[in-house]
Amino acid sequence: LKELCRTEGVTLFMMLVGAFEALLHRWSGQDDVTVGIPVAGRNWVETEPLIGSFANTLVLRADLSGDPSFRNFLARVREVTLGAYAHQQTPYSKVIEALRPGGTLKRKPLFRVMFDLIQANEGEGAQELPGLQVQVVQPDTDELIVGNDLTFAIQETDGRLLATMRYKKELFDADTIAQTLEEFGSLLEHAVREPDARLSELAFSTLQTLAA
């Protein structure tokens, strides 16, 4: 994956979110797909010493029309992602307000799925802080409130990518989610072997079975 990233001039995040968008495209049959992504919001030097959360949410809008090759689609993903990063200081609530005057965050959201890549140095455990005892507490996953239909997170650690998907039980069952995760892996494997394959040609046997 990283070798293909270097060849195409994209980050690992762009590669993975693009594959996820391709998966949603084939799953939904839609050429216009939106995905929410979190950003830390600390790209200004002035925010480095401040305590608190500066996190924001960006919306990536993917154009999958014309059945492009995976390589060509990656170029689209790169352009959209860089454009989103260039405006990451704009609060998501202000975007909603501009697009839908009088609207709220809960009324007709701009996306229903989230994607996140957790880098190797994030969330690995307790940090060493002078004079403090720090412990990471994992929440009870059964008690988590899932705001989006799907939240797909990938953690990079020890040369591996570990994928987790949270979902609304009223919309999906565990078997469907497990098969979707498996299909995501198949898509990536095929894309690495044949990046010039069109999106419709990538391995989606499981999803075709589900559709049938």
Amino acid 75: pLDDT:
97
| Both tokens assigned to 94 | 């202000």
pTM metric for this prediction: 0.82
Cβ-based neighbour number of residue 128 at 10 Å: 6
- β-bridge partners, 60: 35
Amino acid 102: pLDDT:
66
Amino acid 210: pLDDT:
45
Cβ-based neighbour number of residue 184 at 10 Å: 20
Amino acid 19: pLDDT:
96
Amino acid 139: pLDDT:
58
Amino acid 42: pLDDT:
64
Low-confidence spans in the chain with pLDDT less than 70: 41-44, 47, 52-54, 101-108, 120-127, 138-146, 203-212
Amino acid 12: pLDDT:
95
CB-count exposure of residue 163 (10 Å: 0-12, 13-18, 19+):
middle
Amino acid 123: pLDDT:
47
Amino acid 207: pLDDT:
46
Amino acid 173: pLDDT:
93
Amino acid 211: pLDDT:
45
Residues whose CB falls within 8 Å of the CB of residue 35, separated by 6 or more in sequence, listed in order? 17, 20, 21, 24, 59, 60, 62, 111, 113, 114, 115
Amino acid 205: pLDDT:
52
Rounded Cα–Cα distance for residues 19 and 22 (Å): 5
Amino acid 143: pLDDT:
47
